[in-house]
Chain A
C-alpha cells in the first residue's frame, strides 16, 4: 500500500506572531518556518506503517512556495521515499489545496492519505475533510489510533465527549490528532541521504486546477489585549477577592 502524506510549511509554533501595522496580515519576514506539528505526526504515522510492513511507499506532498522544499526534505530525512511539491506563489485556500491534492491522488492511487487535523497558522481544520468529500474516500478525522485490517481500517478519533472508534473501507483519508504518536527526530546521516531522494515539482496548471478565490481577507488585527492583574499574598486573599471584587463565586 502506498501512503500519501501532506506537509505544510507554517510559522514555527514557538514564534509569537505580530500583526502588521497596516493590518494586511501577520509579519512573516525573518520568522522561523517549520513543518506544521500535526503534519510531523502524519509523517511519523506513515513511516511506522512502513516499518510495520503495511505501507510499501511513503510519498510526501506540499503545496506552496519554493521554500516548501525544506519541509519536504525534512520529511524525506525522517523516512519518506519521495516528494512532490506543487509550486505556486498564490495563497491557497483549503478548497484549492484539496482540489490539487485530489488530482495527485488520482495520479498516485494511494491506499491511505494522512493529513494534519489543522494547520497552526490558519487553524482551519478543513483540508482533509474537503479532500474526502471530493474523492469519495472515507474519512477518519482527529485520529489517535489507526489500525489497518485488510480492506478496512479502524480509526479511533478524539471527539469532544472522549474517544470514538469507526470502521472505514479502504482507501481512507485520516487526519492526525496530538496523541497519534510522538514524532522522531531526523538523524544526520538520514538528512544527508534525503538530499538524494527524488523530489518532483509540479504546477497547478499541469494538474489542471485553476486556483479560485472564495474568500477575501479584509483585515488582520491584533486581538484585544488582556492586561495582567495582581498577585495575591495567600489563599485567603484570593478567596476574598473572588467573592467581593470579582464576584464570581
Chain B
C-alpha cells in the first residue's frame, strides 16, 4: 500500500479535516504521504510533518497553487499518483472539486464520502441522504476516495515526517482566482465544533439569529442553519447543515425552529446528543431528538441563555 493524502489548508494553517483524512488513510495502510500544494505554505508543511503516522510531506509551493484551482491541481496530483495505490482527500468543497477529475484522468472511479474502511478495497458510504449505506468494492488499481471527516477521529500530532520539495509547476492558464467572501467568525468551525446551535425558518429573520449567538457565546458553540434559513437570506451559505451543505456530528446539536426534513437530518443525525426546540409538537425533528422542548423559540432561547 502506498497512500497519498491531499492536505486542506489556507496557505497559513492546516485544516483539521486533513487529520481525519489521515486517520482514514492509516486504516488502509501504513505508508502515508501528504501533499501540501499552495503558495508560501511552509508553515502548513511543518504542521503536516507533525501528524502521527505520516512518513513524507510533499510540498509543491508555487503561486499557481495558491487557491488550489482544479485546473492546476489535477496535473500535479496525477503526476504524484504514479506508484500510489490510494489517493485520499477530505470530502470538503475543495476535495470534492479536485478528486473526481483526478480519478477521471487516471481512468478510475472516485468513491465519495467514505465513512468506513473495511479493507484495502472495500469501503462504506452513505447514499440517498444517509437513508442507506452502500458497501462498495473498488475494482480499480488506484483507489480515489473522499473521506467524510465526521466518521474518523483526528490523527494525533506527535510525529516527525520528512519534508520533500516537489518541483513541477502546472499552470493550465484556464482559470483565475478573482475574489473571496469568507465569513469571519470568532466561533469554532461548524465541521469541527463540539457544540452547534442551528436555526431554521422559524427564526423569522437574520437579526433574530442574535439570540442563537448569545447561546453560542456561552457554550463556545458554532452557529448553523437549515437550507430554508439560508435561502431566505437570514444567514450565509457556509452555515447550511444538511445533505447538500455541511455534514456535522458534534457532541451536542441544538436545532431551533427547524422542522427536521430528511435533507437536514442527513447532515446532523450522527450528532451524539440532539436537542430540538420547536413550537409544533408534531415536527419530525422530535423523532430523532434526545431532548425535545415544545415551546416558542423566542421565549425558550433567551431563557436558555440565562440558565447556562
- The chain A residues found within 8 Å of chain B, CB to CB, are 11, 13, 16-17, 19, 26, 38, 93-95, 98, 117-118, 120-134, 137-139, 141-142, 144, 154, 157-169, 177-179, 213-223, 226, 228-232, 234-236, 238-239, 241-242, 246, 248-249
B237:A179 contact, CB within 8 angstroms: yes
Kindly state the separation between the CA atoms of A38 and B274 in the bound complex, as whole angstroms.
29
A218:B292 contact, CB within 8 angstroms: no
B175:A169 contact, CB within 8 angstroms: yes
Q: Judge if B238 is at the interface, Cβ distance under 8 Å.
A: yes
**Residue numbers in A under 8 Å from B110 (CB-CB):** 94-95, 124, 126, 130
Identity of the chain B residue whose Cβ is nearest the Cβ of A131 in the assembled complex = B104
Q: Judge if B27 is at the interface, Cβ distance under 8 Å.
A: no
A141 to chain B, nearest CB (A): 5
B175:A168 contact, CB within 8 angstroms: yes
Q: Which of A26, A129, A134, A218 is packed against the most chain B CB atoms within 10 Å? A: A129
Q: Judge if B139 is at the interface, Cβ distance under 8 Å.
A: yes
B172 to chain A, nearest CB (A): 8
Kindly state the separation between the CA atoms of A222 and B132 in the bound complex, as whole angstroms.
5
A220:B134 contact, CB within 8 angstroms: yes
Identity of the chain B residue whose Cβ is nearest the Cβ of A219 in the assembled complex = B135
Q: Judge if B45 is at the interface, Cβ distance under 8 Å.
A: no
A17:B128 contact, CB within 8 angstroms: yes
Identity of the chain B residue whose Cβ is nearest the Cβ of A164 in the assembled complex = B180
Kindly state the separation between the CA atoms of A249 and B215 in the bound complex, as whole angstroms.
12
B94:A26 contact, CB within 8 angstroms: no
**Residue numbers in B under 8 Å from A141 (CB-CB):** 70, 93, 96-97
A5 to chain B, nearest CB (A): 19
Interface of B (DSSP majority class): mixed
Identity of the chain A residue whose Cβ is nearest the Cβ of B173 in the assembled complex = A169
- Which B residues, 106 to 159, have Cβ-Cβ distances below 8 Å to chain A? 107-113, 122, 126-140
Q: Judge if B295 is at the interface, Cβ distance under 8 Å.
A: yes
| Residues of B within 8 A of A (CB-CB), count | 90
A221:B135 contact, CB within 8 angstroms: yes
When A132-B70, A215-B109 are in contact, do A98 and B104 touch as well, CB less than 8 Å? yes
A223:B131 contact, CB within 8 angstroms: yes
**Residue numbers in B under 8 Å from A230 (CB-CB):** 290-292
Q: Judge if B86 is at the interface, Cβ distance under 8 Å.
A: no
Identity of the chain B residue whose Cβ is nearest the Cβ of A139 in the assembled complex = B70
Q: Which of A94, A127, A166, A235 is packed against the most chain B CB atoms within 10 Å? A: A235
A242:B273 contact, CB within 8 angstroms: yes
B104:A129 contact, CB within 8 angstroms: yes
B221 to chain A, nearest CB (A): 9
When A118-B244, A154-B178, A230-B291 are in contact, do A129 and B70 touch as well, CB less than 8 Å? yes
**Residue numbers in B under 8 Å from A157 (CB-CB):** 93
A121:B93 contact, CB within 8 angstroms: no
Give the 10 A-B CB pairs with smallest separation, nearest first. Answer: A133-B101, A214-B109, A229-B290, A129-B100, A126-B100, A130-B104, A138-B174, A133-B104, A248-B252, A163-B181
When A220-B132, A223-B133 are in contact, do A162 and B295 touch as well, CB less than 8 Å? no
